[in-house]
Amino acid sequence: MDNDSTFMPNLTLAYGMFLVAWGVAVSVLSDSNSVTSYFPAFLGAPLVASGWMAKSNPEQRKLWMHVAVSFGLLCALGGTRFFMVMGDGIDYASGSMLMLFLTGSAFTGLCVRSFIEARKANA
């Protein structure tokens, strides 16, 4: 059970680091002068923090994983803008929006499934 209990905090930490790296990489590669190109990194930083806190404070894991799923949902919702700009073609910005939508939706779905399984295990 211990491996199962650290899977989601580890996934949260990895997903947050991925978002930070993506935001920085896309901003540098596109030579963007806009702060909005760092949007994935801004969402990734709280995910890194909540994943770290969930791992280091097992007694507060439930709280920190709920914080994490909130930011995962924000990623998915922020990525829905892709559907408004997809007619313009895929560029760095729309690619980041699509990535946020897909990965944020998948992460949120995994978190919800994990919450359901944890509830069943404790019942």
| Cα–Cα distance, 6 to 1 (Å, whole number) | 9
Sequential pLDDT tens for the chain (123 residues): 445 578 999 999 999 999 999 999 999 999 988 999 999 999 999 999 999 999 999 999 999 999 999 999 999 999 999 999 989 988 999 999 999 999 999 999 999 999 999 999 987
Domain spans in the chain, listed from the N-terminal domain onward: 2-122
pLDDT recorded at residue 1: 40
pLDDT recorded at residue 4: 55
User: Which residues contact residue 30 at a Cβ distance below 8 angstroms, ignoring those fewer than 6 apart?
Assistant: 37, 92, 93
Residue 108 CA, chain-centre distance (Å), reads 8
pLDDT recorded at residue 68: 98
HEC string for 24-53: HHHHHHCCCCCHHHHHHHHHHHHHHHHHHH
- Tens digit of pLDDT for each residue in 35-62? 999 999 999 999 999 999 999 999 999 9
CB 71 within 8 A of CB 43: yes
DSSP assignment of the chain equals -HHHHHHHHHHHHHHHHHHHHHHHHHHHHTT---GGGGHHHHHHHHHHHHHHHHHH-GGGHHHHHHHHHHHHHHHHHHHTTHHHHGGG---HHHHHHHHHHHHHHHHHHHHHHHHHHHHHHH-
